[in-house]
Amino acid sequence: MPSGRHFLQIPGPSNVPDRILRAIDFPTIDHRGPGFAEVGRAALDGMTWVFGTEGPVVIYPSSGTGAWEAALVNTLSPGDAVLMYETGHFATLWKQLAERLGLNPLFIEGDWRSGADPDAIEARLKEDKAHAIKAVCVVHNETSTGSVSPIAAIRRAIDAAGHPALLMVDTISSLGSLDYRHDEWGVDVTVSGSQKGLMLPPGLSFNAISAKALAASEQARLPKSYWAWDHMLGPNEKGYFPYTPATNMLYGLNEAIAMLREEGLSNVFARHARHGAATRAAVRAWGLEVLCRNPNHYSGVLTAVVMPEGHSADAFRAVTLKNYDMSLGNGLSKVTDRVFRIGHLGDFNDLMLCATLAGVEMGLRDAGVPHKAGGVQVAMNQLGRASDTGRAAAE
């Protein structure tokens, strides 16, 4: 075994802090006993704060894919049209899930190099005079590409079209890392998961639900049982769940919420933005290309890097793993072997970023990938300037 710790720098699951691991290690208790209500209510109330909502949040023992399904089956009926935007691999998977459920997804094609275009969404909705489209589904932070969709602008686009469609947003890789406001931005269902910005292992997923979405659920005819909101919301009022919850994961979730409160969400968002900017500066100094081409859509969660023509991203990743015990994200579907992804999210600081970028630069050298040395120094200089600015503002 190599010495030192493994650097897990994929864009999720992210590294789990010791505090959260210790919390998960608490003894399991009776999930129907009186002591559990405090655990359950703390988790449910804390997540409304993280989402920025005064409405209900449902917590499932599942991956984010389960929360995708829950958002659709609780609000829609067989054959309903849903407008979706091809921001990358995960938007495509959500579309495929909708097809398997018997929905009719209408896919706006994208080039995988930016987030969703509000103007294209508005134009498509204006064409739908009969209001056949029942929902607009968008991935906030596309994990496969490192592009962020402007959710507030998409809400304005739906309103400008005068369309009643629900707005559903996937924040699986952005919640707790990027600025997000469920109520303020007029989102109807927000989907998320535990294993990224919330710093937990995989295993919990979430739906934040608007009053409009709750009303739609009363008419929805897609079959559901495990995912049914109405089955969850009654027991949730007292801190309980209708079936066995992931008790120890809820301990960890409450510790994660405490960590986010201690740092302050605005500081968390600023930290991720700073690390994203420093990483992109390093990539450009190496002479490589960032996959996201729209500066307004850059992600603070991850950076996807395009390999030079004729060079394998997977071969580079393998060399880096072997030589420096660091895992980097692979390219998915359309960009398989063409990009690698650097995760810089969750429980992460400046020194961890510098070490990560040093591992990338040494891996590029060892794998024979054409690049210019010095990207790490450029990132260090940028981080230093950001720290100086922050100190000056605090004085």
Query: Annotated binding residues for substrate, as ranges?
Result: 341
Residue at 44: amino acid letter: L
Which of 160, 167, 91 lies closest to 134 in space, CA to CA? Answer: 167
**Rg of the chain, C-alpha, whole Å:** 21
Length of the chain: 395
- Contact between residue 90 and residue 216 where contact means Cβ atoms under 8 Å apart: no
Tokens of 363: 């891996």
Beta bridge partners of 147: 142, 298
Residue at 362: amino acid letter: M
CA gap 199, 32 in Å, rounded:
27
Phi, psi (degrees; rounded to nearest 5) at 381: -60, -40
Binding site feature residues: 341
- Contact between residue 207 and residue 191 where contact means Cβ atoms under 8 Å apart: yes
Phi, psi (degrees; rounded to nearest 5) at 124: -65, -40
Cα three-residue angle 101-107-108, rounded to 5 degrees:
160
Query: Residue 357 burial (CB < 10 Å; 0-12/13-18/19+)?
Result: buried
Which of 53, 52, 89, 58 lies closest to 73 in space, CA to CA? Answer: 58
Which of 208, 178, 229 lies closest to 74 in space, CA to CA? Answer: 229
CA gap 247, 317 in Å, rounded:
36
Contacts of 181 (CB under 8 A, 6+ apart): 52, 152
Tokens of 272: 């991720």
CA gap 188, 89 in Å, rounded:
23
Cα three-residue angle 290-137-346, rounded to 5 degrees:
50
- The number of angstroms, rounded, from the C-alpha of 86 to the middle of its chain's C-alpha atoms is 16
Per-residue exposure over 41-78, b if at least 16 CB sit within 10 Å of its own CB, e if not:
ebbbebbbebbbbebbbbbbbbbbbbbbbbbbbbbbee
